[in-house]
Structures are given as structure tokens and as C-alpha cells.
Amino acid sequence: MRMIDIIEKKRDGHALSKEEIFFLINEYVAQQIPDYQMSSFLMAVYFQGMTDEESSLLTEAILHSGETIDLSSIDGIKVDKHSTGGVGDKTTIVLGPLVASAGAKVAKLSGRGLGHTGGTLDKLESIPGLSINLSINDFIDQVNDIGIAVAGQTANLTPADKLLYALRDVTGTVQSIPLIASSIMSKKLASGSDVIVLDVKIGAGAFMKTLEDAEELSRVMVNIGQSFGKKVVAFITDMSQPLGFTVGNKLEIKEAIETLEGHGPEDLTTLVTEIGAYMIHSANIKPTLEESKAYMQEMIASKKAYQKQMEFIRAQGGTLDDLDDFISVKEIIEITAEEEGYVESINALEIGLAAMKLGAGRKTKEDEIDYDVGIVLNKKVGDKVAKDEVLAYVYNNLKSIDDILTQIYDAFILSKKPVEKQPLIYKIIT
């Protein structure tokens, strides 16, 4: 079998066989196929696409390029959630303990942030003492003991995906639905859970910009998961403005805890309640989605979800006794409105980039993060704003940030007329 024949076959729009797909992945990981040929193949996929069967086969090949995690020793149905990334997206930090408090088993491997999107691991590591470096045995034991563990991905999990993503990043082939779907689902399947809930973001601060693309990506990923015998559901959710009010590691941890205490922002609370309902319903904890949703609300109202959050933090070595002293910065700067009106939009991408420039995120994988800095929105889309009223607070440790302040101010677009709020959840694909 020759790589050139596979490239030409895909270039001409033909479907590849299982043998051809496994050959190109296995040989590439073994360094028998050069980057220039794999780049050519990725570009052919970018233009010609893949059938559902090809996408599933590609996922399978990437999945078996390295280790997989066996969670069979965990009692009960294991649930997992994946977000395609956004600004202020602290969903996992709220959702994990919430679902675990209801009796589901949350065994989650998460990633770090890069660019304008924050990473769950970075946010968790902003908690003093908390470690995300768990051995597989400790990971499994913790899930059995308290119902939840969150750790970093092992080096040997889906090595083909790491190689392919690095190549896609520099060859203009990131935006390919079959390649995105196989990348995400190979990692989720390798992580071993029985139920996978996907949170596919759309909007300015998201990877997918249109509802049509988000629907197609969701459909392909759900199809892949079901072909492997998993329960999979995809939520298509809004990321045209940041989720919640906070952007930045410690700020988001604080907001996540406040949400579990019952006084979090409306959009975040709604999202975790809806997604959590699907997770515990799929884990056979409650017979209907309505009962599952009510149970999620009960876990927050009773403080059981908050107590599970504290138990999880302690189990992974973290200490978080006083939220008032948790965040420390040199200054908090107010950004105020120059005129009255209604918030028409808040560009999530620009807010995310501004937070990164403050030090809350990374431009490159080698950058260090300042856990304390970030942005707290005081207004969301649809809110009325008076002249000189605060739009956002900037938590800062840098010397000169005039350009960042301007970027944040410009992210807010005001209208003279009242503005309708956009839906938070556009569609649910099962």
C-alpha cells in the first residue's frame, strides 16, 4: 500500500477503506510517512470531506494509536462532557460536582487553554495545592470513593491526534469537520466513559461560527459515538458573549463555586442544569429528563453540589477556605459606558484575547499564566446601561494596559433600542 495512492484517492473524492485509513495513521505515528504527504492528505480531506463511515474509521484508528483507559472497575455508569471551547466557559468545574452529587460517576480528562479560550486544568490549578496529576489507579479510586476526578490527559493517549493536530495547525486544515470530529471523539472514547455529552459552542468566541456548521459537527460526533456503542448527545450553545460574568482562572473558580451555592449567573446555571439533566438521565439515575432537571436544581438548593465540590477539591490536594482572600491583584479598573443604551453584543473573542493579554491565558504553550487577573462583566446582552455605568471590571497586575482597556470597551456594542437576548441553547442533537 502506498501513501500517494491514498492521497490521490481522497483528492478525487472517493471513500477510503478501513485498511487504508489504519495504514496512514499507523505508518504516520511510526514516522514512516513524512509530514509533507500527511499534509497533502489533510488538505484533500479539507476539500473533499469524509463519509460518516470514514469519520468513524479515522476515529478508531486514532483511538488505537496509543493507550486507552479501562474504567470497568468503576462502579456504575461513567459520564463525561466535552466542550469545544469558549470564553468564560467554566462549565466542567460546576457540572462535574453537580452531576456527581446526584450519584453519577464523573471520570474526566481535561486539557489546558491556548489562545482566547481557557483550559479547565489551568483553572483548577489556580486553587492552592490542587493537583491534576493523578495516576490511573488513583484516578479510578477517587471516582469510586467520591464520584468525581478530573485529571490531565496521559502522554500515551491518542498520540496520532497530537501529531495530526500540530500538523493541521500549521497547514490551514484545522477547520475540517471530519478532522475535528475524529480528534475530539478519539480522546473521549479513549477516556473510557459510557455517556458523552458534547457542548458545541457557536458564535464570535467559539470554534464554530455558524449554526449549520455546529449542527453538522454535532451530528458527525454523535454518529461516531453511537457507532462505538456509547450514549452521546450534543448541545449547540451560544458563545457570542462570554459565559457567566467572569473570564480568568481564579475569577471563574469563584463564580463556579458561587453557582453551586445557588447564586450564580443565570446563563451558567441554566446550562449546567440542562446538560446535567441529560447526563444523570443517561446514567439511569432518574427515569425522565424533567425529573432529572428538577433533581439538578435540588442538588444546588440543598448545597449537596457545593459540598461535593469542596470534597473534590480536598481529594485532589486543594485548599479553598476563604473566597474573599482567594484573588489578589494590584488594581481593579472600571470600564464605564460613555453613553446610555442597551447592550446589543459583547464580542467574546475580543474579551478572551484581552484576558489573554492581561496574563490569564497563553499565546504559546510555554507562556506562564497569572491566575489572579481577568475580566468581570457587569453587563450582559440585553441589559440597560446608564451613562458612566460600569460595563466591566479589569483585574490587573501589569504596568500599562491602555490598549487592553480599549479592546474591552470596544467589545461592547450598545444600541439605543431595547435588545432581545439570544437563546443560550440552540439545539440538542441525539
Active site residue 168: yes
**What are the cell numbers at 200?**
458545541
**What are the cell numbers at 138?**
488513583
Instruction: Please identify which of the residues 78, 82, 112, 308 carries the catalytic annotation.
Output: 82
Return the HEC string of 81-99: EEECCCCCCCHHHHHHHHH
Active site residue 161: yes
Q: Is 151 helix (H, G, I), strand (E, B) or coil?
A: strand
How far does Cα 81 stand from its chain's mean position? 8
Please count the CA atoms within 13 angstroms of the CA of 337 that sit on its side-chain side.
Answer: 21
Instruction: Please identify which of the residues 78, 108, 123, 187 carries the catalytic annotation.
Output: 187
Neighbours of 388 (CB within 10 A): 11
Instruction: Please identify which of the residues 65, 83, 126, 183 carries the catalytic annotation.
Output: 183
**What are the cell numbers at 80?**
463525561
d(CA 94, CA 105): 15
- In Å, the largest CA–CA distance within the chain is 69
Neighbours of 266 (CB within 10 A): 11
d(CA 277, CA 280): 5
The residues that are catalytic are 82, 161, 168, 183, 187
